[in-house]
């Protein structure tokens, strides 16, 4: 891929996080897909629901970018997801995915990053003061906010939607207008990359992971992208050798040929505090 022309499917400034790494480590001549409306593949503000998985959306963005730039050999796109942490109560989690497709070799690589370093949040407000307090906590105006209408206690972007909120004066104006129209306002952090520096950092971390995977070759077929896809539990207890819930090995898999292998973790045994037999 070194020297190959590449296209990045974004309209939200993600080239700031992705392009330097793609150029330095992958040797790509990366350009933004001009004229591509990535909002067509889903919006955080609910006007358009994302169809399929994050990977499906990233692939669709790349396909659209290729149609606009038929001379590009490589396409790159990213997709983010936000929601509650599966294990930490009341904590939000940001998952980022970056996908690279080389249509000459048919190679597809992915990079992943998950982080709790996100300001993902929302609130229902009925007065401007509460909206200003929410925005200040979110880091506004460095981090953007979105305001929308409310219907039956739920966000209703079809009634009112304001994304271009740049200042406190702008925010007060749209909050007052929305409350007058729908009786309340839904305010949330803007998770679009160009309006959310924390998310931009997470995208960069996902791209770093993609670079690492590009240098990890399958021991069976030599395809790039040999990576950890799971973990095998059952690290034996140091006292009684009973299996514990701790990881005993990482599972590495090749998406190309399907080769899979377990690689033992550094620890040979688990502290008895994790053993149900020794520490019931």
User: For the chain, which residues make up each domain, given as ranges?
Assistant: 5-116+195-214, 122-190, 227-274
Least confident of 64-78, 84-98, 188-202: 84-98
The CA distance from 272 to 239, in Å, is 6
User: Could you give the percent of the chain with pLDDT greater than 90?
Assistant: 96
Dmax over CA atoms of the chain, in Å, equals 68
pLDDT of residue 258: 95
In this prediction the pTM is: 0.92
103 pairs with which residues across the strands?
Answer: none
| Residue 86 predicted with pLDDT over 90 | no
| Residue 1 predicted with pLDDT over 80 | no
pLDDT of residue 142: 97
The CA distance from 247 to 241, in Å, is 14
Range 89-104 average pLDDT: 96
pLDDT of residue 225: 96
Q: What confidence category does residue 20 fall into, taking pLDDT thresholds of 50, 70 and 90? A: very high
Q: Enter the tokens of residue 233.
A: 């539990």
Range 141-151 average pLDDT: 98
Q: Compare 51 and 21 and report the one with higher pLDDT.
A: 21
What CATH class does 122-190 carry?
A: alpha beta
The CA distance from 125 to 132, in Å, is 10
5-116+195-214 is a CATH 3.90.320 domain: no
Number of H helices, E strands in the chain: 5, 12
The CA distance from 143 to 155, in Å, is 20
Rounded to the nearest 10°, the torsion over CA 112, 115, 117, 123 is 100
């Amino acid at each position: 891929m070194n020297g190959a022309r590449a296209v990045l499917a974004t309209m939200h400034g993600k080239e700031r996080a992705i392009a330097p790494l793609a150029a330095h480590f992958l040797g790509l001549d990366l350009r933004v897909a001009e004229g591509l409306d990535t909002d067509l593949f889903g919006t955080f503000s609910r006007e358009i629901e994302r169809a399929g998985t994050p990977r499906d959306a990233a692939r669709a963005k790349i396909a659209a970018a290729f149609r606009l730039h038929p001379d590009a050999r490589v396409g790159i796109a990213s997709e983010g997801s936000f929601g509650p942490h599966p294990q930490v109560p009341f904590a939000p989690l940001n998952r980022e995915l970056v996908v690279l497709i080389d249509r000459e070799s048919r190679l597809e690589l992915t990079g992943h990053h998950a982080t709790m370093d996100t300001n993902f949040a929302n609130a229902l407000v009925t007065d401007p003061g509460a909206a200003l307090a929410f925005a200040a906590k979110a880091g506004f105006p460095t981090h953007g906010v979105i305001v929308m209408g409310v219907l039956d206690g739920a966000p209703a972007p079809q009634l009112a939607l304001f994304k271009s909120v740049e200042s406190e004066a702008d925010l007060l104006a749209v909050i007052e207008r929305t409350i007058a129209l729908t009786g309340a306002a839904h305010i949330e952090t803007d998770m679009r990359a160009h309006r959310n520096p924390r998310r931009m950092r997470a995208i960069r971390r996902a791209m770093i992971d993609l670079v690492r995977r590009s240098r990890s070759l399958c021991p069976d077929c030599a395809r790039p992208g040999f990576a950890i896809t799971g973990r095998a539990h059952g690290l034996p207890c140091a006292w009684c050798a009973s299996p514990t819930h701790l990881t005993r090995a990482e599972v590495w898999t090749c998406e190309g040929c399907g080769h899979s292998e377990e690689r033992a973790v550094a620890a040979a045994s688990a502290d008895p505090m994790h053993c149900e037999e020794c520490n019931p």
